[in-house]
Amino acid sequence: MTTRIACLCPGKPVLRDRADAVLAMAQAEFPDVELRFHTQCFLEQGHFAGDDATRLDALVSTANDPGIDAIWFGMGGYGSNRIAGEAIPLLGEAACDKTYLGYSDNGYLLGALYTHGIGKPVHGPLAGDIKREGGDDAVRRVLKYLSGQNVPLESGLDDRSTVAFNLMTLAMLVGTDLMPDLTDHVVLVEEVAEHLYAVDRLFFHVTQNLKGVAGIRLGRVSDVPDNDRPFGATAEEIARYWCAKSGIPYLGRADIGHDSANAIVPFGKR
């Protein structure tokens, strides 16, 4: 049985050499996968892979295509929040049968889909991650998962509902119409390229808006820029501090992050 996967870029474009590498892997190793990159993925409109209308049309038309089984986001990069709210009311029955997989800025879309019970949102590697160190394994893991093969999920998942977000993305989601109700959920967060004082600020904001969650688990906080002085606390100490202050259980570390080891986390219950 053929699995038909479409790659989209709701934020920034993917480089063609990355797409070609992913297509070559799919063709060589996954004969039962039909993978295509939407032409929108290669457009450039300033920061974005095409203007808002173009990215919105690509998302809606692909999601509503009954011939597509899964949408795999090609890249992150700011932008999916600009189209997520408009997309939701335009999604029909076919959109509800799909898996949507990605991370980072694509968390806006994953969150919006989860809020409205549309499809199966999944945190996992992007197609463009193939150029990271170990990226072949990350891409191979996603292709196996989307084609129905048995793939290990994030090792700390249990019978509780779980979501996974980039910390900045989650901080921007809270208080908006896209934000799902995360009562009794375990919330996994990761971050990249933020100063530790900014991570502290994000935890201050997020923990004020996650009352009722089952707990927070901290993924990797990577590529932290040097500041003019040490912050004085590690990322985990920051997470523990704000969880304790807000009464949210801190549940330890999570195997997610902006790297090729980024684990797959289906939203909701396993």
Residue 72 has pLDDT above 90, yes or no: yes
In sequence order, what are the residues at sequence separation of 6 or more whose Cβ sits closer than 8 angstroms to the Cβ of residue 167? Answer: 189, 190, 191, 194, 199, 202, 203, 206
The correct answer on CATH 3.40.50.10740 for the domain covering 3-146 is: yes
Tokens of 247: 């009464």
Residue 32 has pLDDT above 90, yes or no: yes
**pLDDT recorded at residue 270:** 80
Q: Tell me the pTM.
A: 0.98
Q: How confident is the model at residue 232 (pLDDT cuts 50, 70, 90)?
A: very high
Domain-by-domain residue ranges, the chain? 3-146, 162-266
Residue 34 has pLDDT above 90, yes or no: yes
How many C-beta atoms lie closer than 10 Å to residue 68's C-beta?
Answer: 20
Residue 201 has pLDDT above 90, yes or no: yes
In sequence order, what are the residues at sequence separation of 6 or more whose Cβ sits closer than 8 angstroms to the Cβ of residue 152? Answer: 263, 264
> Do 223 and 199 touch, CB atoms closer than 8 A?
no
Averaged pLDDT for residues 198-204: 98
Residue 7 has pLDDT above 90, yes or no: yes
Averaged pLDDT for residues 116-132: 98
Burial of 215 per CB tally in 10 Å (0-12, 13-18, 19+)? middle
Domains 3-146 and 162-266 share a fold: no
Average pLDDT, the chain: 98
Q: Which CATH superfamily is domain 162-266 in?
A: LD-carboxypeptidase A C-terminal domain-like (3.50.30.60)
Q: How confident is the model at residue 100 (pLDDT cuts 50, 70, 90)?
A: very high
